[in-house]
Structure 1
Amino acid sequence: MMDQLEAAGDEVRLRELGFGDGDRCAFIRLIEILVDGDRLDDLRILARDGDGRAFTTLMELLFRTDRVDQLRAEADEFPSARLWLAQLHLRRGEVDAGLAELAAAELDPELGWSAHSERIAQLLRFGRVADVRAMAEAGDRVAGRRLRRFERESDRSQ
């Protein structure tokens, strides 16, 4: 049945079947239609309505297609888009830009802890141990723990 609905482009019926606790296959087929058509606005509307699956699909699409400016624009409405933007910058080798996005995400009450932890991880990954040490010396307990673990692991690998 889903094949027929998808082939017919019956988005209305797929939406009816796929939302809420509905048919997961119907939802997936609808999302596939939206992604294949590069219909960002429709994905964004679903995300605004609170559908986390649509949000994740939108972010993955923008990340996978290397759309930095679009991810930046999404961050104005969806703060967690900043985390995707940071990862895209890091993937592209734009370390300072990625770290800046993570630092900005730390200011968001819902993202703060995870963004902070990720920024520390990336600082260590890119050899910026002195930055993490400075954070630890300034009283950042998370940075201190991560630095001690990093140093122990470094000692063991030598």
Structure 2
Amino acid sequence: MADINELLGSSFVRVKLVAFVHFFFITNAMLGTWGHGAYEFYNFLFMIAMFWTIHCKESIEAAQVALVINVSSIFFDLINIIVYFDFMNGWAVAFSIINLVLRPITVILLYREFNSRGGSLQTGSVFPTTQQRTYQDIDRPTQPTPTNSQPGPNVASIF
């Protein structure tokens, strides 16, 4: 049991496990007849966010976007399963329900990943912006002024 906790403690394994599990269940759930594109759309966005999270190992925003999409997908999955239950075959229903049941577990894993990357959700805000960032003007780099040079001609007095 300690080996599983150690593996899930590693962000490298944790994010890839979440992406693989959802990829497996989403693709099997899409084998059914849905009749619309909503399920495919938000799950496609979730998979893109997961690949972004895997690619950018230090990005807080990537983990945050994947977390927000995964949390909102719980609600969307419930709506889709309830509304389109009669139109789906048993295979699609089974895998979409299993995917829905696994979402709270993967939300916890993504939240752990978000925290391990340095992110924190502050109360009252999904996207915290209270931290003041410094601005660097790259168009006009500052140059040190020489201390022992003679002042040049006044160009403004020519005009």
How does the TM-score come out when normalised to structure 2?
0.25
Which one has a bigger Cα radius of gyration?
A: 2
How does the TM-score come out when normalised to structure 1?
0.25
More helix by share: 1
